[in-house]
Amino acid sequence: MPLDHYVTLGRSGLRVSPLCLGAMTFGEDLGWGTSVEESKQIIDRFIDLGGNFIDTANFYTKSHSEKIIGDHVGRHAARRDRLVIATKFSGNLYPGDPNGGGSGRKSIVSACDNSLRRLQTDYIDLYWLHNWDVHTPIDETMAALDDLVRAGKVRYIGVSDTPAWKIVEANVTARFRGWSAFIGLQIEYSLLERTVEQELVPMALELGLGITPWSPLKSGALSGKYTRANVGQVKAGRGPFLEPFLNEKTFTVVDELETIARAHESTVARVALAWVQAKPGVTSTIIGARRLDQLEDNVKGLDVKLTPEELGRLDALTKPTFGFPQSMQPIFPSIHNGGTTVNGVHAPTSPFTLQKGEKPY
């Protein structure tokens, strides 16, 4: 699938490229990241290849990420209007100001205006709640976001890093009140992070939220750069995010990715991205390329089509163990189906089922 084969985000009409350019590393303000010049080159190359979806946040690299995007494309109306620019609120840039972050109305309106200023645009295509603010009622957040949509400052809204039950409350509340509802779900999702498959992924499928995974290579652990052979020898640029995952479990997954990559004449990173792209509900995977060559390599992941057998091998290596109530689901067909087959699922009757000749009380 080329980068210019667009897909609609969730149950909306917003067309986005199947890979999204993540801009968290734009700017070197945190001591690591991508220079302004190379960030611009990455943006240009992504657009040249057909990509139209760029994701940032108000406090990435202390707000420099938004400014880089604004300086390079936001101020040029013709270029900006061809792009889907997404940014986030919740992050607090202002020490000592309790209303500088979170999801209250005061914070949201201020954050939106500041993002518009830095991005040098008069509208945000997709405005994400960055992470759940436990101190703010969700109806206050949704009402404030709907006001921004009605004012024309925001086109669509999405949600990131929030429990499934809270997202359901938000969207059901919005729909009953005629407000804009979340159309996208941004979550960490990779071969090494699959706990989202217990609640968040099924919720997104049920409500029609398009999933945009972040960290599909688990901060580089699945990039192919780190192996058993060089463990401890290759310096990790994002050490605290990466080093806890350089272990036997990861290396076993990397070994399998290498085997599959050889069969496809591809790379470990591309195969890991192809696995994420193949998961149900995934619309556009966020790739956080820090260098131009990483972007070139990651985009080629769209060319990798894994077979059901290869997907099965990778799934089996990292299959998550679900807690209650999903842990009970295997026995439900016996309880529900009375020994029949329903939608292709068959199970013997449970011991509680009436036997031949018995009658219910």
Residue position matching structure tokens 């997104």: 204
Q: Choosing from 6, 60, 156, 226, which is the catalytic residue?
A: 60
Strands 154-160 and 182-188: parallel
Residue position matching structure tokens 């303000």: 29
Residue 156 bears catalytic tag: no
Instruction: With CA atoms as reference, report the closest residue to 40 among 87, 88, 76.
Output: 76
Position 133: which residue type?
Answer: D
Query: How many Å apart are CA 338 and CA 142, to the nearest integer?
Result: 44
Query: How many Å apart are CA 138 and CA 174, to the nearest integer?
Result: 10
H helix runs in 70-179, sequence order = 77-81, 105-119, 138-150, 164-177
Query: How many Å apart are CA 353 and CA 144, to the nearest integer?
Result: 52
| Residue 20, strand partner residues | 286
Position 83: which residue type?
Answer: L
Query: How many Å apart are CA 176 and CA 19, to the nearest integer?
Result: 33
Query: How many Å apart are CA 17 and CA 283, to the nearest integer?
Result: 9
Position 79: which residue type?
Answer: R
Residue position matching structure tokens 């350019």: 21
Instruction: With CA atoms as reference, report the closest residue to 118 among 142, 99, 93.
Output: 93
Show which residues are catalytic. Answer: 60
